[in-house]
Amino acid sequence: MLAEDPLQRVLFVDLTKRRFWIESRRELFEEHLGGSAVAIRLLEELCPEGVDPLSPDNPIILTVGPLTGFYPLASKTVAMFKSPHTGNLGESHAGGRSAIAIRMAGYGAVVILGRSEMPIYVVIDNDRVTFRDASALWGTRSSYTTGSVLRKREPGSGHRTIMRIGRAGEQLVSYACVITETYRHFGRLGLGAVFGSKRLKALMIGGQRNLAPADRRAFRQVYDTLYNRATGSPLMQKYHELGTPMNVIPLDAIGGLPTRNLQTGRFEGAETISGERLASDYLGRRVACAHCPVACIHLAALRIPYPDDPYFYKTLMLGYDHEPIYATGSMLGIEDVPGMLRLMDEIEVQGLDVMSAGVALAWATEAMEQGLIGVEETGGLRLSFGDPEAYIAAIQRIVTQPTDFYRALARGVDHASAIYGGQDYALAFGGNEMPGYHTGPGCHLGYLTGARHSHLDSAGYSLDQAAAREERDLEPKEVARALLAEEQWRQVLTSLVICLFARGVYEPAYVLDALKAIGFDRSEEDLARLGVETLRMKNAFKAREGFDLATLRLPRRIFETPSPAGPFDEAFVRMALQHYAELL
Amino acid sequence: MAKRLSVIDADRCVGCQSCMFACTRRTAQGGLEESRIHIRSDGGFRKGFVVIVCRACADPPCARVCPTDALVPREGGGVRFHTAKCIGCRNCVEACPFGAVLWDASQDKPRICVYCGYCANYCPYNVIALEEIDPADDQASLNV
């Protein structure tokens, strides 16, 4: 690491005392690079054991990596905190301009501590930190308003990130998200509620600087290689063209698209909500994260007439991806695309994680069908698959929480089903709601074992899909080994905050070249060790906070609904979990 | 014939800022502080992007207001910048209606496009291109 690299600087912001200071933590970045690896070490250092995630003592840690600002596609910010949703490790990643802004402001990490007495927003502009009154912004109906107000009120357009919460975060919904640049999110595990608990409405970060490479010539050469791999080869094509929703039709075709709370893996409306159909009928604009030429962010233009006034319309621009389409489309049996998009929009307006929100509604619908809850619980709403209007109203109530039922649903399906029943079809894994793949044992074991309980931890669905293609059965030990190896390598990528979509661009040899040109001399073994150690530390933190693979709840539904990789049972999953624990 | 960076179609801009990073990388550095091109949203990502770059005016206002002749008109359009003469008064910043005179805070000097076109090589969507200035261009004809 070069002596002058600002990556080593960690900015601490104490909301309680309205103080800030900068510490040089050279050893941390020299040894562990950045991103996930640095964040878990800071979390271990700063997060007291057993802390209430919504107390002032829960830190928020935001990290970037050495490649950020030098090379394309290394534009993710890693957020770490204790999750109010699972009561355990919280880790969520977002792009937009967040990572570039943190790096250009001159930091490798930003740490938020304490709790403000009144609602505030914090502006970090290079070395200056300002605490500003946000009491007038608190409680505004739409998260979009916060973005547009702050955009005009503060300077620095083009060089900054505006991270903000909606009312869901203010109301401490345990799966509230943090929105950045309107279309990217720290979506999962409730960072929005942690912001809300600190009365932090928004965090703006910006700055400008140059970064000196170690070898100027090599830097430009490596840059061109990576840039050409990203733009001139088929590696990023799927993200570039249809984007992640290109998954909808192939998943449905093999019976792996969770539909109506996973009562089936096939959706009769799959074609209607597919990436192809959205692109041809609704795609209005594509945008990119800073320093990413791929532009995978697809925005649907939805024209909505006002029923009370002829020739009066509004046009929404809404970000869509595979997971939001799954969560507000197939999982809820909605094939009315305008209805699906309006539901997605309401989830944005309120600032919820779209995946947890969709799964929560899907569980509630089935619980209502089964008679476990009635209109007394839902405040008169009749939830039924395929009806977006009732779901839009329910989303608002998850935030305002007028009844005990909504207060429970605002903590996720694990919590709500523990009170009202229906655990067999409460689709959460390690406390986090299910992603949009039901491909076989691999995907579910990935959700269970992954440190973030995310499909992106270890991509178990690709094991299932390979097994289905080759028409062979998976073995528990094989699945455990493959998931662990994949998650270990992904720790390296997320420590360098490389977008996981670009994992094909950044193969190990390219990572080493990129690092070397900017002053990090590493071997492939060094990287592998970093991945192993980082994952081990995350799991050690989880064990400290009470997580145990052996006691995970397994929703019976996943064994009942046929999967593309063939039937599998609880014994298979338990055996794989045990093996995973031994390997770890 | 003088060249300039033309904005071919700002509506194709995805806001990736690859051009901005290219401009600084021209000096073999990472980051953004050297960049002479700026991409910002037009009031939020949903409204698209604004491409801010020197359009090489025939009669450049930035040069007209420069009290020390640090900025001098270039033959065929645009300006040349002589750093040593600049006193950092920021008149040029105020004079450019496009906001294309960007400011280098650490040097306290403007950042002026040199019309090299390096950035355009890294625009994946053909938003910008290095082009010869057409003397028949109506704006150029103002140069009397």
| Sign of the dihedral through C-alpha A284, A288, A294, A298 | negative
**B82 three-class SS:** coil
Sequential DSSP letters for A494-550: HHTT--GGGTTTS-HHHHHHHHHHTT----HHHHHHHHHHHHHHHHHHHHHTT--GG
Burial A314-335 (b: 16+ CB within 10 A, else e): eebbbbbbbbbbbbbbbbbbbb
Q: Mutating which of B11, B14, B106 best tests the A interface, going by the most A Cβ atoms within 10 A?
A: B14
* Distance from the first to the final alpha carbon of chain B: 18
Q: Which residues pair with B111 in a beta bridge?
A: B102
What integer pLDDT is reported at residue B1 of this predicted model?
77
What integer pLDDT is reported at residue A235 of this predicted model?
87
Model ipTM? 0.96
Q: Mutating which of A157, A164, A216, A344 best tests the B interface, going by the most B Cβ atoms within 10 A?
A: A157
What integer pLDDT is reported at residue B144 of this predicted model?
41
Rounded Cα–Cα distance for residues A227 and A231 (Å):
6
pTM of the predicted protein model = 0.97
Rounded Cα–Cα distance for residues B23 and A509 (Å):
27
Which residue does chain A place closest to B19, by CA atoms?
A: A291
Of the candidates A422, A380, A420, which has an alpha carbon nearest to the alpha carbon of residue A397?
A: A380
Q: B40 in contact with A at a CB cutoff of 8 Å?
A: yes
Distance from the A482 Cα atom to the nearest Cα atom in chain B, whole angstroms: 34
What integer pLDDT is reported at residue A122 of this predicted model?
98
The stretches in chain B having pLDDT less than 70 are 137-144
What integer pLDDT is reported at residue B137 of this predicted model?
65
User: Which chain B residues are closer than 8 Å to A288 by Cβ?
Assistant: 14-16
Residue with tokens 């903590």: A411
The stretches in chain A having pLDDT less than 50 are none
Decide: A191 and A178 in contact? Cβ < 8 Å. yes
- pLDDT, tens only, B98-134: 999 999 988 999 999 999 999 999 999 999 999 999 8
> How far is CA A521 from each of CA A30, A136, A505, B89, B114, rounded to the nearest angstrom?
10, 50, 20, 44, 35
Instruction: Tokens for A379, please give them.
Output: 């405040």
Of the candidates A581, A471, A447, A451, which has an alpha carbon nearest to the alpha carbon of residue A93?
A: A451
Q: Mutating which of A73, A162, A210 best tests the B interface, going by the most B Cβ atoms within 10 A?
A: A210
Decide: A469 and A435 in contact? Cβ < 8 Å. no
DSSP secondary structure letter of residue A261: T
Instruction: Tokens for A381, please give them.
Output: 């709403």
Q: Which residues pair with A187 in a beta bridge?
A: none
Amino acid at A270: A
User: Which chain A residues are closer than 8 Å to B38 by Cβ?
Assistant: 158
Q: B68 in contact with A at a CB cutoff of 8 Å?
A: no
| Sign of the dihedral through C-alpha B65, B69, B71, B75 | positive
**A54 three-class SS:** coil
Decide: A486 and A500 in contact? Cβ < 8 Å. no
Decide: A333 and A259 in contact? Cβ < 8 Å. yes
| Nearest-5° Cα angle at A362, A358 to A365 | 140
Decide: A372 and A422 in contact? Cβ < 8 Å. yes
Q: B99 in contact with A at a CB cutoff of 8 Å?
A: no
- pLDDT, tens only, A313-367: 999 999 999 999 999 999 999 999 999 999 999 999 999 999 999 999 999 999 9
Give the 3-state secondary structure of A117-154. CCCEEEEEECCEEEEEECCCCCCCCCHHHHHHHHHHHC
Pairing of strands A432-433, A109-113: unpaired
| Nearest-5° Cα angle at A182, A177 to A187 | 20
> How far is CA A333 from each of CA A188, A243, A337, A440, rounded to the nearest angstrom?
23, 22, 11, 21
Q: Which residues pair with A286 in a beta bridge?
A: A298
User: Which chain A residues are closer than 8 Å to B31 by Cβ?
Assistant: 69-70, 103-104, 208-211
Decide: A8 and A24 in contact? Cβ < 8 Å. yes
Tell me which residue in B14, B28, B31 faces A220 most closely, judged by beta carbons.
Answer: B28
Rounded Cα–Cα distance for residues A289 and A99 (Å):
9
- The answer to whether B17 contacts A291, with C-beta atoms less than 8 Å apart, is yes
- The answer to whether B28 contacts A216, with C-beta atoms less than 8 Å apart, is yes
